[in-house]
């Protein structure tokens, strides 16, 4: 019987391959993929695994794309990933930098703790997610504010002057002397609205035209006045100059019928009318005839009616300079210096770069020579 040659052991068979640098026929671990390629691995699963891993992070920011089960919502932009800083994007340039629709940037110009409504992100199902502060130039206007009766949306809920007890029946006071027209009915308006008062005994409100120049004589006549020596029925009782007394007369430099207290020393006290002076010392700017308690508010950025606000109304809940940045609403003026976003003081033609003309251009407003 022939003697069979001895079979080589498993060690004898494997050793030459190990010494030749060839790995045992099994898939490499994920951590060895790069080493296998660098050592010239053959056309097996090693190289394709590396290529597959690279395609999941195209921009190389260290975060895999959503299609690969990762968290990078834009794998074509290295500045967009879960660790990026979210910035305020306007509706014309929506980028979710940190891949979190709930974060909108940190623009809070008025410091009220709420992000400007001009900061937005692309939300779920195509719905914009924006900040809650509808006027980031006024700390009193925000989502958590109390609604007041002032013809604006204080609590940013899209409604104006809603709520009980915010209005009352008042009478219009055309000449601004503090007494309403005795011939007019009361109307329901906001409490404290300029040119509206609770009493109505004035027998001379001027000629009834709000745009006309009300005379000083008209302001001397109302049910709250005392009789002076002017031949008029100052107190509306049907008599002239009865029991006339001396009153204070304030210097009226601009001739608008209102003097200013503290101007040129003490007021003069006299029964007779003093030319160049007025018995009404409530002018907040006695150097400008456009400004007085009897003036109508116009769109010029000034407090024309001395109520403490530049509040010419251009639309529902919108006034001439809501964000108080010195640039007027485009509905108010036809100007290249109009404010294309009058709810955010950080956006206006005077700002540099993206917050200036660029932001206005995104909104499609013709300003700064661009449209």
- Taking Cα atoms as reference points, which of 218, 225, 264 lies closest to residue 244? 225
pLDDT on residue 42: 41
Q: Tell me 219's DSSP state.
A: H
**pLDDT of 133 higher than 90:** yes
- Taking Cα atoms as reference points, which of 305, 235, 358 lies closest to residue 369? 358
354: left (phi over 0), alpha (psi -120 to 50) or beta: alpha
Q: CB–CB of 360/368 below 8 Å?
A: yes
Confidence of residue 202 (pLDDT cuts 50, 70, 90): very high
Q: CB–CB of 172/181 below 8 Å?
A: yes
Averaged pLDDT, 92-101: 86
Give the list of residues 6+ apart from residue 188 with CB closer than 8 angstroms, or none: 167, 168, 169
Q: How many separate helices (H) and strands (E) can be counted in the chain?
A: 5, 10
Angle at 299 between CA 297 and CA 303, to 5 degrees: 50
**Would you list the domain boundaries of the chain?**
34-84, 246-314
Residue with tokens 């921009």: 59
Query: What is the value of pTM for the model shown?
Result: 0.52
pLDDT on residue 243: 93
**pLDDT of 268 higher than 50:** yes
Give the list of residues 6+ apart from residue 323 with CB closer than 8 angstroms, or none: 109, 135, 136, 137, 138, 339, 341, 342, 343, 344, 345, 348
| Helical H segments across 42-199, by residue range | 45-55
Confidence of residue 318 (pLDDT cuts 50, 70, 90): confident
φ and ψ at 189, to 5 degrees?
A: -135, 175
Confidence of residue 314 (pLDDT cuts 50, 70, 90): confident
For the stretch 236-266, pLDDT in tens is: 999 999 999 999 999 999 988 899 877 666 7
């Amino acid at each position: 019987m022939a003697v069979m040659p001895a079979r080589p052991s498993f060690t004898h068979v494997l050793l030459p391959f190990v010494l030749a640098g060839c790995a045992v026929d099994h898939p490499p671990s994920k951590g060895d993929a790069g080493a296998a390629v660098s050592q010239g691995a053959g056309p097996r699963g090693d190289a394709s695994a590396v290529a597959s891993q690279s395609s999941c992070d195209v921009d190389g920011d260290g975060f895999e794309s959503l299609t690969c089960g990762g968290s990078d919502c834009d794998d074509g932009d290295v500045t967009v990933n879960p660790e990026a800083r979210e910035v305020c994007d306007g509706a014309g340039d929506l980028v979710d930098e940190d891949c979190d629709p709930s974060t909108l940037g940190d623009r809070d110009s008025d410091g009220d703790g709420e992000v400007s409504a001009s900061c937005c992100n692309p939300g779920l199902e195509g719905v914009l997610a924006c900040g809650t502060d509808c006027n980031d130039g006024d700390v009193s206007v925000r989502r958590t504010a109390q609604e007041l009766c002032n013809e604006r949306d204080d609590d940013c809920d899209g409604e104006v002057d809603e709520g009980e007890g915010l209005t009352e029946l008042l009478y219009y006071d055309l000449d601004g002397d503090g007494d309403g027209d005795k011939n007019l009915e009361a109307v329901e308006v906001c409490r404290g609205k300029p040119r509206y008062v609770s009493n109505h005994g004035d027998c001379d409100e001027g000629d009834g035209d709000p745009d006309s120049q009300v005379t000083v004589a008209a302001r001397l006549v109302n049910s709250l006045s005392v009789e002076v020596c002017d031949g008029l029925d100052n107190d509306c009782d049907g008599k002239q100059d009865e029991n006339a007394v001396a009153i204070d007369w304030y210097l009226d430099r601009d001739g608008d019928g209102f003097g200013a207290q503290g101007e040129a020393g003490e007021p003069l006290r006299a029964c007779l009318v003093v030319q160049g002076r007025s018995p009404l010392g409530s002018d907040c700017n006695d150097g400008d005839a456009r400004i007085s308690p009897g003036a109508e508010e116009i769109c010029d950025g000034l407090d024309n009616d001395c109520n403490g606000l530049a509040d010419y109304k251009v639309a529902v809940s919108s006034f001439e300079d809501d964000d108080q940045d010195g640039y007027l609403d485009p509905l108010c003026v036809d100007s290249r210096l109009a404010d294309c976003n009058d709810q955010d003081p950080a956006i206006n033609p005077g700002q540099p770069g993206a917050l200036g003309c660029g932001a206005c251009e995104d909104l499609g407003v013709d300003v700064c020579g661009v449209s």
